[in-house]
């Protein structure tokens, strides 16, 4: 690692390039720390209504697209079926969702929202709107769209690094901007 000269000519220990930085200063570390901080912010805001970000995400998905089977919910949320099953169990214990037999396949259970779940999903939406506004403070829509595009590209690169191939379905068509809710 080299040193850089500061404005007054003295040597600084700052790395000359981000890739030369120690792991805790690299962009990937910043990204992971930011993701963790965002998760924590949601968990703190959702705690008064008895949910975590993971539970709220599943509940919101079921509210919007349900009834759905657990496999589809897991795929949509990008998590394993076992984790989704545990979340379904918890939401069912809270009376927010219920399992129903799939009319087309008796081996499959569909997950549907209850009236209490509809009310809770509305509360999640209100919390999300306020927190998202706070998190985006001072960041323009154009900046958010550029960041989202870079993150989608990074996800594709991760898929290549981990699986050796591009994902079969691109999250977005080329040159697509990511639309946001207000």
Q: pLDDT of 162-179, one tens digit each?
A: 988 776 554 444 444 444
Which pLDDT band, with edges at 50, 70 and 90, does 9 fall under?
Answer: very low
Which pLDDT band, with edges at 50, 70 and 90, does 26 fall under?
Answer: confident
- Cis omega (within 30 of 0) for bond into 67: yes
Tell me what pLDDT residue 104 has. 86
Phi, psi (deg, nearest 5) at residue 178: -90, 120
**Domain spans of the chain?**
22-135, 140-167
- Report, at the CATH architecture level, how domain 22-135 is classified: Orthogonal Bundle (1.10)
Share of the chain above pLDDT 90, in %: 60
Please check whether residue 47 is in contact with residue 56, taking contact to mean a CB–CB distance below 8 angstroms.
no
DSSP string, 54-114: HHHHHHHHHHHH-SEEHHHHHHHHTS-HHHHHHHHHHHHHTTSEEEEEETTEEEEEEEEE-
- Three-state SS for 45? helix
């Amino acid at each position: 690692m080299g040193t850089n000269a500061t404005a007054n000519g003295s040597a600084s220990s700052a790395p000359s390039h981000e890739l030369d930085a120690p792991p805790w200063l690299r962009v990937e570390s910043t990204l992971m720390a930011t993701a963790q901080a965002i998760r924590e912010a949601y968990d703190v805001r959702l705690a008064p209504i008895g949910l975590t970000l993971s539970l709220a995400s599943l509940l919101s998905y079921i509210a919007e697209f349900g009834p759905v089977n657990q496999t589809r919910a897991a795929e949509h949320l990008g998590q394993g079926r076992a984790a989704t099953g545990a979340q379904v169990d918890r939401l069912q214990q809270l009376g927010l969702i219920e399992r129903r037999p799939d009319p087309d396949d008796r081996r499959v259970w569909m997950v549907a929202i209850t009236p209490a779940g509809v009310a809770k999903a509305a509360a999640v939406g209100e919390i999300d709107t306020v927190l998202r506004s706070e998190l985006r403070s001072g960041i323009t829509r154009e900046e958010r769209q550029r960041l989202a595009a870079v993150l989608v590209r990074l996800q594709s690169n991760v898929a290549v690094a981990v699986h050796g191939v591009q994902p079969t379905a691109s999250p977005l068509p080329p040159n697509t901007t990511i639309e946001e809710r207000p």
